[in-house]
Chain A
Amino acid sequence: MKDVLKYSSFAFAGAAAFGLAATTALAETDLVVVSWGGAYSASQQKAYHEPYMAKNPGIRILNDDSSSEGLAKLRAQTEAGNVTWDLVDMVASDAIVACDEGLALEYDPDELLAAAPDGTPASQDFVEGSLMDCFIPQIVYSTTFGYRTDAFEGDQPSSIKDIFDIEKFPGKRSLEKKPIGNLEWALLADGVPVDNIYDVLSTPEGVDRAFAKLDTIKDHTIWWVKGAVPTQHLADGEAVIASAYNGRLFAAIEEEKQPIAMMWEWQVFDLDGWVIPKGGKNIEEVKKLVYFATDTQRLADQAKYISYGPTRKSSAPLVGKHAELGIDMAPHMPTDPKNAAKTLLFNYEWWADHRAELDERFQAWLAQ
């Protein structure tokens, strides 16, 4: 018994010493920033976190690569009343859900975000429609098409109609396994003007029409779930045309030198950005970080490391060369005027309404 007491008092002393160490460490603030991991987190680390920590020695930014489960985990933390995250990187559609669920902090753009260098307030400087109640936009990325340059003799795919044209461009397609994007593309290929897409999709006949168009390539399509897969399909020759995130295609083409080219017509824009969890413990500190990380220069800096476009108009002229490859990044941006002649921006509100229903319909269609 004595022994037990002796050991437990040791343990107590140890715990006390540990607690002491913890409190001294608390003199500086740890900010837990959740993002996607991989090349994307690396670009944020170099463009935002490292310069910020250099300027603010009291702040330590800890990366957590959980964004792919961000929504579910944030909800679990909020329900448990113990939010350990300070800042979460999310795609816009998830941010809308987080906002609706009361998980994220609402903010006033002109109060929280820096003005452009020429004094334009943030609410004017960010791309139209990108600022939302809880969502602080960071980058524009797009889902677009890549094709193997050695797959077709003569004409190469150049329009959305070609993607659905099995006769002219035979071979497997690799598409993302969800209705978002695919339904819009199907209608565009079927000749629906871009402004009417969501009106048509709001009718049962319109949905049928989109699925009927997808039917024409269903037997020639393999479906991907993880972002790294479509470029792998192209590289292996498993597919000749694939829809993929433009940053992944950039990496496959420029870094891995695969025989792949991009087809930008009707690329679908999507936004990715920050959300501040409502119950976070360091909200004031994290607001300062967000102010810094979303200013004009920082957003332009991120494009040096990854080919995603900044959401600030004032950042676009500052986009320079790739930090390692030394190539000009501007032509690889989805927002570059040459690439962005025909683009589609998701109607997030519409999808928030219809996602559940169409997901089920899409899965049932796949299983047929």
Chain B
Amino acid sequence: MAQVEAAPGIMTTADGQPLKLSLQRALRRSKIRAMLLVAPLFLFILVTFLLPILDMTFRSVENQLVSEILHRSVPLLQQWDEKTGDLPPEDVFQAMVEDFKEGRENRTIGRVGTRLNYEVAGMSSLFRSTARKARRIKEGPYTDALIKANKRWGDVETWRLIKRESGTITLSYYLAAVDLRFGSDGSVQAQPENRQIYVKLFVRTLWLSTLITALCLVLGYPISYLLATLPTRTSNMLMILVLLPFWTSLLVRTTSWIVLLQQEGVINDLLVWVGIIADDARIRMIHNQAGTIIAMTHILLPFMVLPLYSVMKTIPPSYMRAAMSLGANPFTAFMRVYVPNTVAGIGAGGILVFIIAIGYYITPALVGGTSGTLISNFIAYHMQVSLNWGLAGALGAILLAIVLILYLLYDKIVGIDNMKLG
């Protein structure tokens, strides 16, 4: 007992340093080394992946433009009560004319017009034409002069819109992304029915991605099984058949599907020639949903086959034999022994195909026609054509949220640890 008390509670190394401390130091050094090794990759992902996502998400709510460029009139507008139905007072008009002169000078006023045109059609030309005329307005009364320049300045709605969109943060993009909008009284209401598209597209994208994942699984499972069980020489041969299209350009594969499936295409010609269908009843297999499903299933198949194959390769054939020797028939042995062993591959392949499918856009754009386009086609459209990056950001953020939710659900139900890519 006395001995224990005499011994110092701390163990030391040969040079008298406490062991714990020197161990920590050694660990820290190796940790830093490990972090330095990972640093390039981390920086790369940060710059090319995380920052752009953050930037686009920021754009989906960011709205400084209006208050920044109309910096004289917007503060004055805040004191105006938009509910009375009266036009703003003269000083707002005067400030607006000056904002226009300055905005015309440094070429910024057009951006406000474009921004407001996302909300109400006609704002773009209102701002463009007013900018041209505003420099000739030298003296008041500014209210009359501005209304003379364009009669829409005499409409209370125009001013309500400017006031509503003058905050630094806006929800308009998210509303637009789910087919809603602000009414003139500021309440949230549905878009007119003939302009509702995005909700439908989200649903369609999710449904088609699920379907394509399921088709890939149904088609890919037997192929992978064959690859894993055949003798190496034959399976290598087959593997090349799987990989060859994988290495071929996406556009080439998509275009070949057009040649095969179109109404005057190879398959229809064959069916007519054999006499299965009449010449005037050729089947439409492309430029519709069917086209998207067929082409995308084909393109994404390798992403299912490869993880499945790598998992199946590790299952010893003796498992099945053992099951059958214990009395299971081949079907039971397959379902109860083999399939559970491949769950990791199914999970990996499924999630890979699904996530790639949900963001696909080139193939649907080429073969999807009108019923086979996906939400990503519209994100691309708003990025490249309409330049409405706010809406593109909102659509993208919603898509990202959906994927993350599904991922969490997957983790809850299947468990992400069960995923195996090889």
Contacts and interface: CB of A to CB of B under 8 A. Distances in A.
A311 B122 CA distance: 29
A28 interface: no
Interface stretch (B15-23, B104-112, B236-244, B338-346): B104-112
A3 interface: no
Given A72-B387, A106-B107, A223-B287, A349 B370 contact: no
Contact of A353 (B121, B287, B378): B121
Interface in B173-231: 193-197, 200
A68 B365 CA distance: 15
Contacts of A361: 194-195
Given A101-B387, A236-B264, A361-B195, A222 B110 contact: no
Contacts of B67: none
A367 B123 contact: no
Contacts of B264: 236-238
> Range of interface residues on chain B?
35 or more
A354 interface: yes
Contact of B370 (A237, A238, A366): A366
Interface in B248-285: 262-265
Interface in A313-368: 349-350, 352-357, 359-361, 363-367
Interface string B84-111: 0000000000000000000000111011
Given A100-B114, A223-B369, A349-B125, A69 B200 contact: no
A356 B197 contact: no
Contacts, number: 89
A20 interface: no
A225 interface: yes
A251 interface: no
A236 B196 contact: no
B244 to A, nearest CB: 26
Interface in A83-119: 97, 99-102, 106
A238 B269 CA distance: 12
A287 interface: no
Given A353-B121, A356-B118, A69 B384 contact: yes
A356 B262 contact: no
Interface residues of A, number: 37
B111 A102 contact: yes
Contact of A75 (B117, B371, B387): B387
A11 to B, nearest CB: 16
A183 to B, nearest CB: 14
A365 B122 CA distance: 22
Contacts of A71: 384-385, 387
A367 B193 CA distance: 12
B133 interface: no
Contacts of A102: 106-108, 110-111
Contacts of B194: 361, 364-365
A101 B365 CA distance: 28
B195 A97 contact: no
Interface string A218-238: 000011011000000000111
Given A101-B111, A223-B369, A364 B196 contact: yes
A238 B121 contact: no
Interface string A132-145: 00000000000000
B369 A353 contact: no
B150 interface: no
B177 to A, nearest CB: 12
Contact of A367 (B111, B125, B371, B384): B371
Given A72-B383, A367-B200, A97 B121 contact: no
Contacts of A236: 262, 264-265
B265 to A, nearest CB: 8
A72 B114 contact: no
B110 A359 contact: no
Interface in A272-286: 278
Contacts of B122: 353-354
Contact of A360 (B106, B195, B365, B369): B195
B195 A100 contact: no
A230 B194 CA distance: 27
Given A100-B114, A101-B110, A367-B200, A359 B384 contact: no
Interface string B163-181: 0000000000000000000
A352 B387 CA distance: 12
Instruction: Pick from A72, A223, A355 the residue with the most CB of B within 10 Å.
Output: A72
B371 A99 contact: no
Given A353-B123, A355-B386, A97 B200 contact: no
B235 interface: no
Contacts of A350: 125
Nearest to B264: A237
Nearest to B114: A100
Contacts of A68: 384
Contacts of A75: 387
Given A69-B384, A364-B195, A352 B124 contact: yes
B128 interface: yes
B125 A352 contact: yes
A207 to B, nearest CB: 9
Contacts of A226: 366
Interface string B342-380: 000000000000000000000001100111000000100
Nearest to A101: B111
A357 to B, nearest CB: 4
B384 A349 contact: no
A100 B110 contact: yes
B17 to A, nearest CB: 26
A97 B387 contact: yes
Contacts of A225: 365-366
Contacts of B287: 222-223
Contacts of B110: 99-102
Given A100-B128, A102-B107, A237-B264, 15 more contacts: A177-B370, A236-B262, A238-B262, A278-B107, A349-B128, A352-B128, A353-B117, A353-B122, A353-B124, A353-B125, A360-B197, A363-B378, A364-B197, A365-B194, A367-B200
21 contacts: A68-B384, A69-B384, A71-B385, A72-B383, A97-B114, A97-B387, A102-B110, A106-B107, A222-B287, A223-B287, A223-B369, A225-B365, A226-B366, A236-B262, A278-B107, A349-B128, A350-B125, A354-B121, A356-B388, A361-B195, A364-B196
9 smallest CB-CB distances across A and B, nearest first, come from A100-B110, A102-B107, A366-B370, A237-B264, A357-B121, A360-B195, A72-B384, A353-B125, A352-B124
Interface of B: 106-108, 110-111, 113-114, 117-118, 121-125, 128, 193-197, 200, 262-265, 287, 365-366, 369-371, 378, 381, 383-388
